[in-house]
Amino acid sequence: MSAESWKIVLPCTRLEAEALASATDPFPTMDEPPVLNTLEPDETRPEEWLLEAYSEGQPTAETIAAVQALVPSAARIKPVVEKVEAQDWVTLSQAGLEPIRAGRFYVHTSAHADDIPEDATVFHIEAGRAFGTGHHYTTTGCLMMLDRLKRQGARHAMIADVGTGTGLLAFAAMSLWPRAHALATDIDPVSIEVTEENADANPIDRSRLALAVAEGVDHDLYRQLAPFDLVIANILAQPLIELAPSIAATLDAGGTLILAGLLNTQADAVAGAYRREGMRLADTIRNGDWSILMMRKRRRVR
């Protein structure tokens, strides 16, 4: 960013902070949206978080209002708006992230490249421009569900990762089923750029990985490669509900679907939307306030 970097600060709840961590595009109408960071300033008050929004140049009233709209709990609170030293705030906000261990998976940044467990499947996902480093409950929960599937003896040959973020979940699935082909897509072009960079930084067979910018599953590659026997969709509850018919249609009979980005209180509504598309709930992982659902598409009875 330039020397004219500004910060908007508002209090928020823990649930609001976690929802923002899963949001793929909180400012869909902005050409140059603020960079968001959430933090827990006092561990003795786990429900009281802060939202920081960094912008290049002094934020307009419209930008401030858009940031404030993200945290309804602060609707009547005047935000703090101040000039700050210019930095790459997305990378800075994630630079201190500790490695995570989820089942057999170990995800780290370059800051922790010297202490890697020998028994782990390892991914180097640098802090950067896209969501999905493994540090949010939803991403970690998806890794746990993939690990569980493999331990149960599941086999998959055609995989789709809808809303891939950094590519991590697609990479994890490909490591479990190395002969499988995978399609990873995201509505955000930056995410696809980041996924390409991360694929180069990890032992990923690029000949088995296709990438595309797509809204949901609306892309020719989905139509060409379907049906899939494993689909991962780590998005948000409402988009998952809206996409239920199209996502379910990409699955083969008997195929497996992992759904994430939904709070525990939203799990029944999301599962219900997919049951109406001929799917059944096969497993659930609850990770903090977030649910990861594993569903299976019913086989047609002849």
Q: What residues have CB less than 8 Å from 234, skipping those under 6 apart? A: 22, 132, 138, 139, 142, 162, 163, 165, 169, 258, 259, 260, 261
Identify whether the C-beta of residue 279 lies closer than 8 Å to the C-beta of residue 295: yes
Identify whether the C-beta of residue 94 lies closer than 8 Å to the C-beta of residue 110: no
**Helix, strand, coil in percent for the chain, rounding step 5:** 35, 30, 35
In this structure, the dihedral spanned by the alpha carbons of residues 213, 216, 221 and 225, taken in order and rounded to 10 degrees, is 140
Binding residues for S-adenosyl-L-methionine: 139, 163, 186, 234
Binding residues: 139, 163, 186, 234
Which residue carries 């209180």 as its tokens? Answer: 265
Q: How far apart are CA 6 and CA 189, in angstroms?
A: 25
Tokens coding 100: 């995570």
Helix (H) or strand (E) holding 259: strand 251-263
Q: How far apart are CA 223 and CA 154, in angstroms?
A: 24
Q: How many residues does the chain have?
A: 302
Q: What residues have CB less than 8 Å from 116, skipping those under 6 apart? A: 106, 108, 122
